[in-house]
Structures are given as structure tokens and as C-alpha cells.
Structure 1
Amino acid sequence: MNMAQQQPRPWTSWHARTVQVPAADQPTSKPDVDAEVHLRAMVSFSGEDDAQDKRPTIVFLHFWGGSARTWSLAAPAVAARFRCVAVDLRGWGGSASASSAEGYSMADMARDMEGVVAEVVPGGRQGGVVLVGLSMGAKVAMLVARRRVVNVVGLVLVSPAPPGPLVLPESMREQQVHAYDGEELARAAAVGVLTRSFGEENKELPRFVVEDMLGGSAGAKAAWPMYGMAEDVSEGLEEVKIPILVLAADGDVVEPVERVREKVLGKLHEGARMVVLEGSGHLSPLDVPEKVAEHVIAFVEGLGSGGRFIFEDVTTYC
């Protein structure tokens, strides 16, 4: 399939949904964190005609600094074959902010995603979900799968942040907190650090990339470098016995291939597979969206009716 020729217009046939995520019976972080949060999701199915569809629904989670639009170059090709949902995580895009600085923990965002799945996926959890998470979104996806509240039948972890704790030196942490403080800083991060093709190949960076970085709430911008990276969601992760595909990138300076192999793949069950995308930086859904879409489609199609398969090769380069 020539993805470049068949790529639909971004968000054609998608519609926006606002999802109210209710309070948890037991608070997942601190007691004073929000009773509820309103999240915005882009949905690629009607929710009525698809009610009997037994195939999984694909749920996309973005990186720190992104929104559902992060997936707008890759997701439409996937949506041509499967039901898809792309979510603005709390504090980003069109979603509401948390009511306190402590409201952006991995557990809070995992609970949000569980609420989105319960609200948006036709028939509740009938066909199960495949979570496709990028960077911070991948860490959230791993926690959702580990918690087993929703029926996650597969994970695609794209340039994933490690599930274990990462504590930055104070100077580096402060630098990251302010990385999106202005348009010039945000663009420099996007072109010089997070992507590869837009600097080396002189491609035009999509306008929404910088807009999303600037548009995040102050709490959401600070939370990831201040405490989100340091959270440990790795306990019991190797017991999550579902198909898992890790997509690393050969030009990723944020999560280099060897660190992903050691800190992510090494924490998963032995059947998990890693593919290294060539010609891409950290944000492969922007650098090489066709490749990302191809791998997501192949992964979901490979699940089959039983939702199980074992990879033979641990690492593939493409």
C-alpha cells in the first residue's frame, strides 16, 4: 500500500467529543485533586453504526507538549480501517486543566483515559482497545494496561518515556519547565530537538506543533519535568501479557534507541517487539507519519480475532 498516495485529509470524517471524566471512588493522587475533568477527543466513528464491530478501537495519546493534533498526519490512514479516538490529555489542546499543580500525575491521566474509553468506545469495551502512546503518552498507556480497568488488547509505544523513574538534575529540570515559554523557544525545541526532518530536510513544520506547545496550561507544562518523569509505573508491567510493539527512532535524541531497548523493552514481557524507524526524531508521527501508520495498521491486523500473537524477531529496522 502506498500510504503517501492514499493518505486522507487530516480529520476528514472525524468529530469532536467532550467527555466528562467522573471522580474516582478512591483518589489516585492527592485528595485535593479535581473531582472531575472535561476532556476533548477527536473520534472517527459515529458510535451507532459501529456498535456491533468486534474489532479493537485505536486510542491515541500524545506527548508532553502535544494534543490530538499530534496524530493528524498519521491517524487518518489508520482511521480508514479502524475506529479511532485521539485525546487531548488534561491541560493540553481543548481539554480542561487540573485544579491544582498536583493534578497531572500518571495515575490521574490513566484514570482520564479509562473514563474516555468507557464513554466513547461503542458498546463500552466490547472490542477492546489498542493504546498508541507517544513519549509521555506511552508511559500513561503502560499504566492503563497495567491497571486492567479497561480491556486493553494491545499496546503501541512510540518513542516511549521509560516506565521507571527519571529524575533530572535541577538545572535541566528548570530548563524543561520553560521550554515552551515562547514561540521562539518552542519552535527551536520542535525543529532542533524533537524532530529530524523539519531541520535536516527543510520541511515546513506544521503550525499546530508550536500552537499546542504554547497552548498547554502552566500546570501541565511544569508537571512532566517536575514530577511526571520521576514517577515509577513499572511494577508488574512484565505481567501485562498482551501484544506490545515499541517504535523507536534512529534519530531520537530524547529517547535514544539503546535507552528504549534497555529501559522500556527490558521491562516488558519477552514477546514484546521493537522496530527502529529510520529517518525520524522523537516525534515520528510528524517526521515519518506514513511509517507509523503502516506499523499501527499491521500490528492491529496481526491481532486477529483472538487478540494474541507472538513476535519472532525482537528488533527490526525499517
Structure 2
Amino acid sequence: MPAVLPALTFIGLHYWAGSGRAFQPVADLLAPDYPLLAPDLLGFGAAPEPIVSSYSVGAYARQVESFIAENEVGRYVLVGHSMGGKIALALAAHQPAGLVGVALLSPSPPSPEPMTDADRMASLRAYGKRPEAEKTFQKITVRTLPEPLHQQILDDNLRSTRLAWDAWLLHGSREDLSAQMGNVRVPCTIIVGDQDDVMSPSVHGLETLPLLPVGTPLEIIGGAGHLLPYEAPEEVAELLRAFAHRL
């Protein structure tokens, strides 16, 4: 009789200026078969500011590792969205116990994120301004969302801390983890929206896919923008289920 594998848990790592609750629509669709836990990353959502003001990609990876240990998670898949994708890859490169796969949703690449200086400065100036949060929302989404989710996305943007906001733009997004990617040994998958105006499918194909294990698929969701957990929860949940079945 084959051994029964322990249950699988998904760990959701959210996008910059978001929060863990971005994964709730996907978590609802995966339940009760697969739990999905999604912490608020340092400086975002309801997460407290760290005692030591470090918002490096490595510091975020350590936060996630501590969260997994505190929740006594056994086998798990990291689901990294945008900023969370870079953090997921940083943690996966350390080959932590229990990790069996990495699913990347419109991820920030291991290499420095493609962003013009003008866009970076505009984002720095946008901090804490609701009209700017609305402009960002319009840029990063394509599908129409219910008004409560629209407001939730704006609220998460506005409750980001200044330190975490600036640190990602000036430092985290520019970190280059490419040399560490040879240490990512677990199966991976990339899921992107074909109308992503932040990072197009070609960016993932050129910057991220070549650094991942051979055979990693690039799944494209039609008619979706950058906020896949909000815009395409059904498609994301279906692809995560299929990924879990292959592990």
C-alpha cells in the first residue's frame, strides 16, 4: 500500500501595497480540500512594523519562514503574487523543509524588476493619496470587480507603511537573486494575465522562466490584468489544484 502523504497547504504571499486578504477569493475556492494561509507581509495590511527596520527580500523570506513554523505547516506550496513572487523564490532557494512547490502569479522577477525611473518616482510620490490609489487600481486591473473588493484594494494601498512602500521601490524590487535560482529544486509554475499592464507575459518568459527548473510551465489567463487573485480566482484556484495534483 503506498504511503499516505500529509495534507498540502498553500501559503499566499501578497503583492506590494496589498495584504493577505487578497487571497481570500482563491482560499474560498480551494476549501475544504486545501487550506490557504496568507500572512500580511511586513509593513503592509495589519502586520506590525519590524523592530529592526529591514524590508529586504531576505527579511520578508525570514518572516514567511517564521509564519510557517508558528502555524506548524507540514507540506506546503508557496504562492507568490508580484512582490510576493520574488519573496517566494528567495525562500525556495534556501530549500526549507516542507516546501514541495512554488506557484508564481505575475511575479516580480528574480532579476531587478523592469521599471523606469519615471515610474519609480511617480510611485514614490503617490504614497498615501487616494486618487493615486485609484489610478493604480485602474492600471493593474482589467476585469470588473465588485465594489467592496475595489474599496478593499484601495484601503490596503493606503494603509501601507511609508518605510515598506519606499523600501520595495528603492531596494527590494531592484535586488538581483538570479545567482540563487539554481538552488530552487522544487516544481514551479508561472501564472500570468495576458493583459497585465505591469509585467507582460513576455517579461516572465524572458526574466523568470529561464531561471526555473526545466519544464516549468507558463500559464496564461485570458482577459486578466495584474491582480490575478482578485480578477481570476476561479482560474487561479483551478490551476493551483492541477499543480497540487502533479506534485
- Structure 1 length as normaliser, TM-score? 0.72
Whether 2:217 is the aligned partner of 1:265: answer: no
Q: State the match for 2:64 in structure 1.
A: 113
Q: Map 1:246-261 to 2 at 5 A.
A: 246-261=190-205
Quote the Cα distance in structure 1 between the aligned partners of 2:206 and 2:30.
29
Report the count of equivalent residues. Answer: 243
Percent identity over the alignment is: 31
- Please tell me whether the aligned partners of residues 94 and 183 of structure 2 are also in contact (alpha carbons under 8 angstroms): no
Quote the Cα distance in structure 1 between the aligned partners of 2:211 and 2:148.
34
Q: Map 1:20-99 to 2 at 5 A.
A: 54-99=6-51
Deviations 1:58-85 (A, max 9, x none): 1000000110111121111113211321
Q: Map 1:210-229 to 2 at 5 A.
A: 210-229=154-173
Q: State the match for 2:83 in structure 1.
A: 136
Q: How far apart are residue 256 of structure 1 and its match?
A: 0.3
- Please tell me whether the aligned partners of residues 179 and 189 of structure 1 are also in contact (alpha carbons under 8 angstroms): no
Quote the Cα distance in structure 1 between the aligned partners of 2:126 and 2:32.
35
Report runs of 4+ in structure 1 exceeding 6 Å deviation.
Answer: none
Question: Which of 183, 190, 204 matches 2:147?
Answer: 204
Larger gyration radius, structure 1 or structure 2? 1
Quote the Cα distance in structure 1 between the aligned partners of 2:121 and 2:52.
19
Q: How far apart are residue 100 of structure 1 and its match?
A: 5.6
Question: Which of 140, 164, 175 matches 1:194?
Answer: 140
Whether 2:93 is the aligned partner of 1:146: answer: yes
The residue type paired with residue 140 of structure 2 is: L
Q: State the match for 2:103 in structure 1.
A: 156
- Please tell me whether the aligned partners of residues 59 and 131 of structure 1 are also in contact (alpha carbons under 8 angstroms): yes
Quote the Cα distance in structure 2 between the aligned partners of 1:116 and 1:72.
18
Q: How far apart are residue 180 of structure 1 and its match?
A: 3.8
- Please tell me whether the aligned partners of residues 57 and 121 of structure 1 are also in contact (alpha carbons under 8 angstroms): no
- Please tell me whether the aligned partners of residues 127 and 162 of structure 2 are also in contact (alpha carbons under 8 angstroms): no
Quote the Cα distance in structure 1 between the aligned partners of 2:147 and 2:64.
32
Q: State the match for 1:165 in structure 2.
A: 112
Aligned Cα root-mean-square deviation (Å): 1.9
Q: How far apart are residue 165 of structure 1 and its match?
A: 1.8
- Please tell me whether the aligned partners of residues 77 and 293 of structure 1 are also in contact (alpha carbons under 8 angstroms): yes
The residue type paired with residue 126 of structure 2 is: A
The residue type paired with residue 121 of structure 1 is: E
Q: How far apart are residue 53 of structure 1 and its match?
A: 7.3
Pick closer, same or farther for the CA change 1:170–1:262 going to 2, 3 Å: closer
Q: 2:235 aligns to what SS in structure 1?
A: helix
- Please tell me whether the aligned partners of residues 59 and 85 of structure 1 are also in contact (alpha carbons under 8 angstroms): yes
Q: How far apart are residue 135 of structure 1 and its match?
A: 0.3
Quote the Cα distance in structure 2 between the aligned partners of 1:100 and 1:243.
33
Q: State the match for 2:221 in structure 1.
A: 277
- Please tell me whether the aligned partners of residues 279 and 288 of structure 1 are also in contact (alpha carbons under 8 angstroms): no
Pick closer, same or farther for the CA change 1:250–1:170 going to 2, 3 Å: closer
Unaligned 5+ runs, structure 1: 1-51, 304-318
* Bigger mean CA offset, 228-237 vs 132-141: 228-237
Q: How far apart are residue 91 of structure 1 and its match?
A: 0.7
Quote the Cα distance in structure 1 between the aligned partners of 2:229 and 2:167.
23
- Structure 2 length as normaliser, TM-score? 0.92
Quote the Cα distance in structure 2 between the aligned partners of 1:121 and 1:195.
35
Deviations 1:196-240 (A, max 9, x none): 013xxx753612111100001111111111111110112131342
Pick closer, same or farther for the CA change 1:168–1:100 going to 2, 3 Å: farther
